[in-house]
Structure 1
Amino acid sequence: MSEKSDKLRAMLEKEKERRIKLNNRIESLERRIQEEDSAEVNEMVRTAKVTPEQLAALLRQSATATPNPAALSAVGATFEKEVDADED
């Protein structure tokens, strides 16, 4: 083959390797985002002191209406008051 074709093939292989690395990085970042989102949801559920049954009821309610404090009260959820660091 010609020297030009060989160079182009080498460049192609290098770019394919780069694409694989980028795809792996993208997958890793997507996984980390999902883990962070899950942790945030878990923390919200813990803060609201919601039982699995109450959470299921809230999710059913959210299918037809936006959850709000009244909806949380309707299923018996309670909130811990957040402590403001500036109050000390």
Structure 2
Amino acid sequence: MSEKLDKLRASLEKEKERRIKINNRIESLERRIQEAEAAEVNEMVRTAKVTPEQLAALLRQSATSTPNPAALSAVGATFSKEDSDEDDE
């Protein structure tokens, strides 16, 4: 085989390995984002002091309208602004 073909094949192999590493990094980042989103939602639910039943009601409501403080009140959830401010400190 020619030297040029050998170099091209070696370059191809190197780039394939690089692609595998990049794909693994992408998957890892996507997993971390998903975990962070879940933790953020969990914290929002805790801050709003929403029970699983109230959360289900809110999710049903959100299918037809934008959730807001009135929607929280409608399902009996409470949201304390002071509590969330203390968590930020």
TM over 0.5: yes
Query: Could you tell me which residue of structure 1 aligns to residue 42 of structure 2?
Result: 42
Query: Could you tell me which residue of structure 2 aligns to residue 74 of structure 1?
Result: 74
Measured after TM superposition, the shift of residue 13 of structure 1 is 0.2
How many percent of aligned residue pairs carry the same amino acid?
Answer: 88
CA RMSD of aligned residues (A): 1.2
| Count of aligned pairs between the two proteins | 85
Query: Could you tell me which residue of structure 2 aligns to residue 56 of structure 1?
Result: 56
Measured after TM superposition, the shift of residue 80 of structure 1 is 2.4
Distance 1:51 1:81 in 2: 18
AA aligned opposite 1:51: T
- What aligned pairs does 1:10-25 form with structure 2 within 5 A after superposition? 10-25=10-25
AA aligned opposite 2:12: L
> Which structure features the higher share of helix residues?
2
Deviation >2 Å, runs of 4+:
80-85
AA aligned opposite 2:26: I
Distance 1:80 1:5 in 2: 68
Measured after TM superposition, the shift of residue 79 of structure 1 is 1.1
Distance 2:9 2:76 in 1: 65
Query: Is the partner of 1:82 in helix, strand or coil?
Result: helix
Distance 1:2 1:77 in 2: 74
Query: Is the partner of 2:15 in helix, strand or coil?
Result: helix
